[in-house]
Amino acid sequence: MQGPLGGGLSSVALAAAVSNAGGLGSFGAHHLAPDAITALVTDLRAATAKPFAVNLWVPQPTEGRPADLAPHRERLVPFYRRLGLGDPPGDDQLRFPSFPDQVEALLDAAPPIISFVMGIPPREVLDTAKEKNILTIGTATTVDEAEALEAAGLDVVVASGSDAGGHRGAFLRPVEHSLVGTFSLVPQVVDRTTIPVVAAGGIADRRGVRAALALGAHGVQVGTGFLATRESNAGAVHKRMLHTDAARVTVLTKVFSGRTARGIHNALIAELGNAEVAPYPFQNALMQPLRTAAAERGLADYVSLWAGQAAPLTNTENAGTKSAADYFAELVQP
């Protein structure tokens, strides 16, 4: 399985390439409006006749609009000035897609598979998916979460270890209480659940694939490795950084989105790492213009460089030039 890269890092070309190669391509759609989700499923169907998955983030009940966004804006003003940008977005510029509207559009489009992270989707969503013969995949960062996902009726569980890049999916306990390494988590989830278990986190080459299967996983999900391929929508600076020594140091941070995620350490994380940030999706929206401008200019110190702890295993001579099909073939090689 190809990890569902969120925040615009997925592409139809990547998901289709993985599915066409014999894996399961995925598209992270949490940032898309309902009409864009409808169009996405149409595009994916046109690009591959094989199964594919579309991923959504389950809302966190503890998140809500802060009483005052002004301090969070003011904290970012110096960084906006450094890049010659205007002010951080005002209240009238903050627009977020609604999860109920997103999931309704996705169920109407009826992709073969819907995957979820950061929680258990509502009962009626799972019931509708079953009525439409849509397979559902949930993501667990602990054994308790895996058991909860199975009890809720999801068909497959991804056991996502703390080695994984990008956003952490913890939902029963705080992230800091849910940091279980992949190769500790997978065999425990296999022992405590009866649905298929997919190992994720810290797997970037065929050695990791074989190790995960040896621990009882029924499949393997790879994110960072596919992020580094030609078809991913990651920017050039992001792909380049995955193939540098800097990728040896990844940290957990809320700076870029308001939710905890693992990425390559850079100057912005160093400067803001201990600061209070707005909750998701507000922090994410406040940071978006800064991240976009930095990516366009190749400024690695201001970009969210999501990466797992196995990123150095993706090294190639020319960053971002390997095709997803060639990388997939390497992963499944006996």
In a domain, 194, yes or no: yes
Beta pairing class for 166-167 and 250-253: unpaired
Structural domain contains residue 292: yes
Question: Tens digit of pLDDT for each residue in 188-241?
Answer: 999 999 999 999 999 999 999 999 999 999 999 999 999 999 999 999 999 999
Q: Is the pLDDT of residue 62 over 90?
A: no
Q: Which domain holds residue 296?
A: 12-60+69-332
Is residue 5 in a domain?
A: no
pTM: 0.96
Integer angstrom CA distances of residue 244 from 201, 305, 314, 316, 320: 19, 12, 10, 10, 12
DSSP output for 42-59: HHHHHH-SS-EEEEEEPP
**Does residue 2 fall inside a structural domain?**
no
pLDDT at residue 319 is higher than 70: no
How many domains does the chain fold into?
Answer: 1
pLDDT score of 253 more than 90: yes
CB 202 within 8 A of CB 309: yes
Q: Is residue 144 part of a domain?
A: yes
In this prediction, residue 64 carries a pLDDT of 81
Q: Which residues, other chains included, contact 329 with Cβ-Cβ below 8 Å and sequence gap of 6+?
A: 21
The CATH number of whichever domain residue 41 belongs to comes to 3.20.20.70
Residue 268 lies in a domain: yes
Which tens digits make up the pLDDT trace of 111-135?
Answer: 999 999 999 999 999 999 999 999 9
252 occurs within a structural domain = yes
The residue-averaged pLDDT of 158-171 equals 97
142 in a structural domain:
yes
List the structure tokens of 121.
Answer: 């989707």
